[in-house]
């Protein structure tokens, strides 16, 4: 598999976490009890680590200082599976420290804020860029992507090599012809001050920037409002964000750009890559952002589309993630199904749906079922954002397929009692558990069929 090359400014990020339940006696400031420090790659380093967590080989062209922070950052990136092509930084490695109480930031401390001279682009870095499957430029305004040798190497890439450019207000314009530029809404507003607010304004700014930068496409990310993508003369694509109650947005832009670059490297269209990136960034924020425990393990972005169910389960399990499975006939998919599937996906790092084959459904439901054949049921379920893989089983219950998948959790709608499920003893063989998730009452396939027949009669 060809490498994704990330180019940009790296930082060492630290979260100092503790609890604050009292004020200091000598000043009206909170006292942080039992603080613990969690270092992690920041800037382009976070984007590279998140991209590497998808399983694609990643090289990072960056500049590290010859100091303790640089050594720590190099070790963290190596642990994340990122190949670092270090140009050397003549100055301190930039550091950013967030002091947090119960997950809420109290203060941020920055060191090494100014840009420092870097060494020339090495032969290894040039060769990596020239042979990349795709390139992600992660600009944090510290000078890396403003360099003439870097821009020349990017400009020399063949037109069929996707380039994603995540810009910074203090950085340069993207090189002409990038596949996808990803400014956020506030960055786009600073670059194009006119236009007001809202979706129409975001589209106007995206089109203006696409023309200004001669970009193939521009996607303005809008946080909880999703994103808007423009390209050429085509109508704008408004990409909604999945429902999100709360979360830490730190690192969401890096997650978005990394996901888009990985998808483009795999041959996706910009529209497909941007849609996947909105979904991944939303899940990343909901999981706690860059400072979450999952991100400290360099996250586990959504598994690859249409991956084999058994392979997906093994990969997520090996990475320390939680495998969730659910099952049923899913004949005439309805709102109750979708609500239960979304709830099940939120319990872990992947959701595998096990569906009864047509023969199995006929034995359980009768000769007139299913109304929808299994290939169509698989296609509809696989199209849902909350579903990572679908597998078909021919038995009357899923015990055999569960022994193959070995999920941590087996989720069923709340109209079931976990203790009564025949799968419960099987799950216990490897320490799995059956759980129930909320289910919308009054929704059922049989009810839909009965209503249709009554109205037809």
| Cβ atoms of residues 384 and 352 within 8 Å | no
Residue 294 has pLDDT above 50, yes or no: no
pLDDT tens readout for residues 50-105: 999 888 899 999 999 998 999 999 999 998 899 999 999 888 989 999 898 877 78
User: Is the per-residue pLDDT at 451 higher than 80?
Assistant: no
Give dist(CA 183, CA 8) in Å, integer. Answer: 15
Q: Which of 156-160, 313-317, 448-452 has the highest mean pLDDT?
A: 156-160
Do 10 and 43 touch, CB atoms closer than 8 A?
Answer: yes
Q: Indicate which residues carry an active-site annotation.
A: 254
Half-sphere exposure of 104 (CA within 13 A, CB side): 6
**Helix, strand counts (H, E) of the chain:** 16, 18
Which candidate, 390, 399, 280, places its Cα nearest to that of 341?
A: 390
CA-to-CA distance for 416 and 72, rounded, in angstroms? 50
Rounded to whole angstroms, the Cα distance separating 437 from 1 reads 38
Residue 414 belongs to what H/E stretch?
A: none
Residue 424 has a pLDDT of 85
Is the sign of the CA dihedral 108, 114, 120, 126 positive or negative? positive
- End-to-end alpha-carbon separation of the chain, Å? 58
Which region holds residue 267: left if phi is over 0, alpha if psi is between -120 and 50, else beta? left
Fold designation for 309-456: Rossmann fold (3.40.50)
Tell me, what DSSP letter sits at residue 54?
Answer: T
Q: What is the pLDDT of residues 119-130, one digit of tens each?
A: 889 999 999 999
Residue labelled with tokens 């079922």: 369
Among 382, 378, 428, 392, which residue's Cα sits nearest to residue 407? Answer: 428
Percentage with pLDDT > 70 across the chain: 88
Domain edges within the chain: 4-296, 309-456
Question: Helix, strand or coil for residue 221?
Answer: strand
User: Nearest-5° angle of CA 167, CA 172, CA 174?
Assistant: 60
Contact 381, 296 (CB under 8 A): no
Tokens describing residue 160: 């069929």
* E-state strands within 183-225: 218-221
Position 333 scores a pLDDT of 81
Asked whether the predicted pLDDT for residue 306 surpasses 70, the reply is no
* CATH number 1.10.287.3510 given to 4-296: no
Tell me which of 354 and 18 has the higher pLDDT: 354
Q: Give the per-residue pLDDT at 414.
A: 54
To 5 degrees, how large is the angle CA 169–CA 231–CA 134?
70
Question: CA dist 249 to 10, 172, 291, Å?
Answer: 19, 24, 10
Mean pLDDT computed over 361-369: 89
Please give the residue that has the higher pLDDT: either 224 or 453: 224
**pLDDT for position 296:** 43
Residue 30 has pLDDT above 50, yes or no: yes
CA distance 47 to 259: 9
Q: What is the pLDDT of residue 188?
A: 93
Residues 439, 72: Cα–Cα separation, whole Å: 47
DSSP state of 174: P
pLDDT digits (tens, 9 = 90+) for 372-423: 899 888 988 988 878 899 999 999 889 999 999 999 999 887 554 444 677 8
User: Does the pLDDT value for residue 217 go beyond 80?
Assistant: yes
Residue 174 contacts residue 37 (beta carbons within 8 Å): no
- Please check whether residue 6 is in contact with residue 166, taking contact to mean a CB–CB distance below 8 angstroms: no
The two tokens of residue 270 are: 């910009």
For helices 44-52 and 252-265, give the axis angle rounded to 10 degrees: 50
Q: Is residue 322 over pLDDT 70?
A: yes
């Amino acid at each position: 598999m060809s490498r994704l090359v990330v180019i940009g400014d790296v930082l060492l990020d630290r979260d100092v976490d503790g609890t604050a339940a009292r004020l200091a006696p000598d000043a009206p400031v909170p006292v942080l009890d039992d603080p613990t420090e969690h270092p992690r790659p920041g800037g382009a380093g976070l984007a590279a680590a998140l991209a590497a967590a998808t399983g694609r080989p990643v090289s990072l062209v960056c500049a590290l200082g010859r100091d303790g922070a640089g050594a720590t950052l190099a070790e963290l990136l190596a642990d994340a599976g990122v190949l670092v092509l270090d140009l050397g930084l003549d100055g301190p490695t930039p550091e950013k420290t967030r002091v947090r109480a119960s997950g809420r930031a109290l203060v941020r401390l920055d060191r090494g804020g100014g840009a420092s001279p870097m060494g020339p682009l090495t032969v290894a870095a040039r060769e990596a860029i020239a042979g990349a499957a795709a390139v992600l430029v992660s600009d944090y305004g510290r000078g890396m992507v403003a360099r003439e040798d870097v821009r020349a190497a990017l400009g020399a890439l063949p037109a069929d090599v996707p380039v994603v450019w995540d810009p910074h207000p203090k950085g340069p314009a993207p090189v002409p012809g990038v596949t996808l530029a990803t400014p956020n809404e506030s960055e786009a507003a600073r670059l194009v001050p006119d236009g007001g607010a809202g979706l129409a304004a975001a589209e106007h700014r995206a089109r203006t920037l696409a023309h200004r930068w001669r970009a193939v496409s521009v996607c303005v990310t809008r946080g909880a409002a999703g994103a808007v993508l423009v390209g050429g003369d085509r109508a704008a694509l408004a990409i909604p964000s999945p429902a999100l109650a709360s979360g830490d947005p730190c690192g969401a832009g890096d997650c978005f750009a990394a996901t888009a670059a990985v998808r483009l490297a795999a041959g996706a269209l910009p529209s497909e890559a941007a849609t996947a990136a909105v979904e991944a960034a939303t899940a990343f924020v909901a999981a706690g952002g860059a400072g979450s425990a999952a991100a400290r393990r360099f996250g586990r972005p959504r598994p690859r589309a249409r991956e084999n169910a058994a392979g997906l389960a093994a990969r997520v399990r090996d990475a320390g993630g939680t495998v969730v499975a659910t099952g049923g006939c899913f004949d005439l998919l309805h709102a109750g199904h979708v609500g239960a599937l979304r709830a099940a996906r939120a319990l872990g790092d992947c959701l595998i749906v096990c569906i009864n084959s047509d023969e199995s459904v006929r034995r359980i439901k009768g000769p007139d079922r299913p109304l929808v054949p299994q290939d169509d049921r698989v296609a509809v379920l696989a199209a849902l954002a909350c579903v990572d893989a679908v597998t078909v089983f021919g038995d009357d219950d899923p015990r055999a397929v569960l022994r193959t998948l070995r999920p941590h959790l087996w989720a069923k709608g709340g109209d079931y009692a976990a203790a009564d499920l025949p799968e419960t003893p099987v799950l216990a063989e490897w320490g799995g558990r059956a759980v129930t998730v909320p289910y919308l009452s009054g929704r059922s396939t049989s009810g839909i069929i009965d209503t249709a027949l009554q109205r037809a009669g």
